[in-house]
Amino acid sequence: MSLLVVGPTNSAMAMRVALRLFLLDREGALYRLPSAALDRMLQIPTRHRLPRLAGQRVRSAEVAVEMLNGRPLRVVRSVFNMLTFKSDGTLVPPLRDRHVRARAELALALGAPARHAGIAEASTRFVARGGQWTPSAAVVRRIEQAALGRQKCPRISPSRPGFE
């Protein structure tokens, strides 16, 4: 997404929003996951895996950064979710993750009449909450500083079978 802004001196500046993805492992180590790598992991999961995260549910952060002429200005939005990795390091596609499905089920139920509200609905809400997380202020600062390029953050990239 790009936006052209004309200043008082008629100089054009290119503004856009960049999406940055981060993963936090069990120990709290922060990694940046390139968007292209995530795309490959979703398109061909068996060929693009993260063995380091095998068998884990991992905290993720999706951060939208406002950019001006290629330089990060500020964080405009952050979303925090959980990702699930199978025992071989393949990513469980979000639409197949039971936590994501439960959130979708709750969203669809908002407009529906409450006929059998009770234990089933409560269990769905419980599962849906397992798909999200709330970071501490310190973790938010770490993620935002990394998203703005003010703190070093190693990239994590999927490996192909046989190349781990």
Q: What is the mean pLDDT of the chain?
A: 79
Of the chain, the percentage scoring pLDDT greater than 70 comes to: 66
What pTM value is reported for the model?
A: 0.72
Burial profile 98-121: b = 16 or more Cβ within 10 angstroms, e = fewer = ebbbbbeeeeeeeeeeeeeeeeee
SS3 labels along the chain: CEEEEECCCCCEEEEEEEEEEEEECCCCCEEEECHHHHHHHHHCCCCCECHHHCCCEEEEEEEEEEEECCEEEEEEEEEEEEEEECCCCCECCHHHCHHHHHHHHHHHHCCCCCCCCCHHHHHHHHHHHCCECCCCHHHHHHHHHHHCCCCCCCECCCECCCCC
In the predicted structure, residue 9 carries a pLDDT above the cut 60:
no
Of 13-17, 64-68, 83-87, least confident by mean pLDDT is: 13-17
Angle made by CA atoms 136, 139, 145, in degrees to the nearest 5: 140
pLDDT digits (tens, 9 = 90+) for 23-58: 999 899 999 999 999 899 988 888 999 999 999 999
* Count of C-beta atoms within a 10 Å radius of residue 20: 23
pLDDT digits (tens, 9 = 90+) for 109-132: 555 555 555 544 544 444 445 556
